[in-house]
Amino acid sequence: MFRGPGEDERVDESGSGDESGSGDESSSVSIKGECSFDHVKDTLVDMFPTMYYDSAFFELIVAKLCEDAKKKFELSGGSSDERQFVKNYFDGGTNLNRGSENGLKIDSERIKRISEAKRALEIPKISNFAQCEERAAFMCCWVAELSGSETVELSTGNTEVCAVDLSSSTESNHVKNGWTVYNAAPEDKTYCEGFVVHESVSGNFKGNTLFEISMRKALLENGYTRNVPGAPMCGCMDQMPIVTKAACTEVHEVYTFTYDGEDLTVALDLQFSDCGDLREYYESKSDSFPIPNYEPISSFLVGEGKCDKAVDNLLTKYSTGYVQGEAWWFADPVSWTPIIGQGTQEWPSISSDGLSELMGNGVGEIIWRVCTSCKASHKNIYYKRLTPIPSDMNFLEMLKSDWTTKNNESGEDFNLYSTLTDAGKDTNEWKFCDIHGKIGFPGECGETGKVTQMWNSYENLETYAFNHAFYLLNESTEA
């Protein structure tokens, strides 16, 4: 319990119970708050009344003691090999992360010594933390734990992994760009914890808070190991996996002054406490951030039940218009009904009668073909029907492999468009269509002229449109 200058910032730690500072036994007092003469002098005078006080000299002594107590040390120890080990550790790639028994025996002793030394620590100078000042939040995540000499799945987690944006931590995963989507099962366990830098104390001792969370508590106390694949184990918030939530740790600046009758010493004695939910704590402190946050923390800690929306937002970064859903290539199932797909976009075919039932008489209906193996002009084509579809017309077969002019004249029965917006507004329709049988949609039609081998076929495979899928725009969706 803290008491002190004021009343509640001091705690006696005297081994003898002698608060006067007399006798052979030493007496100690811990003071919460900054280590400065003005902040601690009244407590020291009150706690150690027999100590010699000369205001000018005493102020210099306290200032020197405080300066030494706050002196920072590198977690890596300074050598290039040790710095590389620290980098690998926070990326998730050392024996400690993998659960090596020998590695843990050797390095856990060092971790214990660092913890017991009670020194101020520099945040490691590695890419994981290079931009954290601009984000004001740090986080670590684990997916496994130690059980003897084995690494096993976490027994208890606190979050769900939604996705990893591989482009956000290229120096950790060594991947230029891309993403990974996690459809977490109930048995999948992940634990994430972080802290917020929002004022001088949390900023000055962020190295210690990182050490507390990632090494002393996670590794030594709980045995947490292994990073979320594709992301570092610890890093700035924007380098970490997109998850639903994370635990929060807060640091408190505390100094322990000890007087043995002759000498006064001071030691850094930081205290850490649970600050609840990381996102909620971050948002409660957002007005005090020294540098504005460029992306809301809700983009990274998205909340329970909001993984699907977070994944859709991430996919939009890479492919405008694509969202996560049941249909291949992430077509939004609310807006689109899959008809059929081929190649890497293979999708079970709807029946001809089923498609006719969905389209009704066909007037105004829009069909989208997305083709990932086609040239840019034919990757996305929207077919808009202008006239009723005759009851004896096999519309599905026409799309697949029999692109005919019968009841399917360009500009009369249908128009083609490059965007859904154009199809909805009936603007910028394609100007050229060469239609003949034996090949499928869209024949050799083009925006302004003939384009070959962009047609699909389920009989003739001599085409570049071997990876494609068709979707029907749902009635409730406005183009």
Q: Where are the chain's structural domains? A: 122-255+262-309, 328-473
Separation CA 120–CA 209 (nearest Å): 10
Contact predicate 468/440, CB 8 Å: no
Decide if pLDDT at 6 tops 50.
no
Query: Would you state the structure tokens that stand for residue 336, as one six-digit string?
Result: 């689109």
What mean pLDDT comes out for the span 141-161? 89
Decide if pLDDT at 215 tops 60.
yes
Decide if pLDDT at 418 tops 70.
yes
For 83-92, 207-216, 231-240, which range has the lowest pLDDT when averaged over its residues?
A: 83-92
What mean pLDDT comes out for the span 336-357? 90
Percent of the chain at pLDDT exceeding 90 = 43
What number of H helices and E strands is found in the chain? 14, 22
Q: What is the DSSP string of 116-138?
A: HHT-EEEPP-SGGGTTHHHH-EE
Separation CA 90–CA 83 (nearest Å): 11
Torsion of CA 300, 246, 179, 318, to 10 degrees: -10
pLDDT tens digits for range 25-65 = 678 899 999 898 889 888 888 888 877 677 788 888 888 99
Q: Among residues 101, 97, 318, which one has the least CA distance to residue 228? A: 97
- What is the pLDDT confidence band of residue 20, given thresholds at 50, 70 and 90? very low
The whole-number pLDDT of residue 83 equals: 79
pLDDT tens digits for range 257-269 = 998 888 888 999 9
- Region for 200 from its dihedrals, namely left if φ exceeds 0, alpha if ψ lies in -120 to 50, beta otherwise: alpha
- What is the pLDDT confidence band of residue 460, given thresholds at 50, 70 and 90? confident
The whole-number pLDDT of residue 412 equals: 96
- Strand 247-252 vs strand 191-196: parallel, antiparallel, or unpaired? parallel
- What is the pLDDT confidence band of residue 95, given thresholds at 50, 70 and 90? confident
Query: Would you state the structure tokens that stand for residue 9, as one six-digit string?
Result: 């910032």
The whole-number pLDDT of residue 105 equals: 55
For 104-108, 252-256, 301-305, 422-426, which range has the lowest pLDDT when averaged over its residues?
A: 104-108
Per the model's pLDDT, the better-predicted residue between 382 and 21 turns out to be 382
Decide if pLDDT at 450 tops 90.
yes
